[in-house]
Structure 1
């Protein structure tokens, strides 16, 4: 017998053995389909909760709210924020044109505190920590 016949039989037996193993082995569980819509929805929810914000704060001993919203200006993401104390005054603090959302919120709160001082609802000394 020549070496090529032995190696041919050997490789044929190997292929046959692999074929039998594949046929007898249990099939894997069906793969879960890729849900692109769920990924986009999850991503959108994450982005929305990070960009938009409504929160409650205590300002000078009173219940107040602060909110921010994003907008685009000249292809750049900016933020505007408002701050108000509905149970105390009708004054409204506003800020817009900030790239940093935290800065927009801080400036809206400062604007509200300045208006409270102007209206005589708080003294300059009481307001100084917020300014």
Structure 2
């Protein structure tokens, strides 16, 4: 079996065909064997979603300037990306609410809400700039 190449030379197709087939056989032998798929369990998906929700939705207590305060963080989607909103409020002390929106890091979202609260507390005269300096 001979063929003419574009350069006009006669070459045998058989050696090229055998080399292609032998490379394919070697690749098949080296490829990992597929493992059987795990059965689909809805409980696994619900458990994974619960873990994500536990880590993204947060609510807790903190102390600011000797006062009892609470914080809350929740996720939201913006431009198909996960962002966090946070709030800090001290219900027995003031009606000020510190807020932070559009932070991709949940910890930064909480600290920015805390800073916003402190800035508002200084503006209202509830704390001095010296007292607030620890939060900046």
Whether TM exceeds 0.5 here: the answer is: yes
Equivalents in 2 of 1:88, 1:109: separation in Å?
15
The equivalent residue for 2:128 is 123
Q: Whose helix proportion is higher, 1 or 2?
A: 1
- SS in structure 1 at match of 2:101: strand
Aligned pairs for 1:1-131 within 5 A? 36-131=41-136
TM norm structure 1: 0.72
Alignment: residue pair count: 99
TM norm structure 2: 0.69
Structure 1, gaps ≥5 residues long? 1-33
**Which structure has the higher relative contact order (CA within 8 Å, separation 6+)?**
1
Q: Deviating runs (4+, > 2 A) in structure 1?
A: none
Tell me the CA shift for residue 42 of structure 1: 1.1
Aligned-residue Cα RMSD (Å) equals 1.4
Equivalents in 2 of 1:48, 1:63: separation in Å?
26
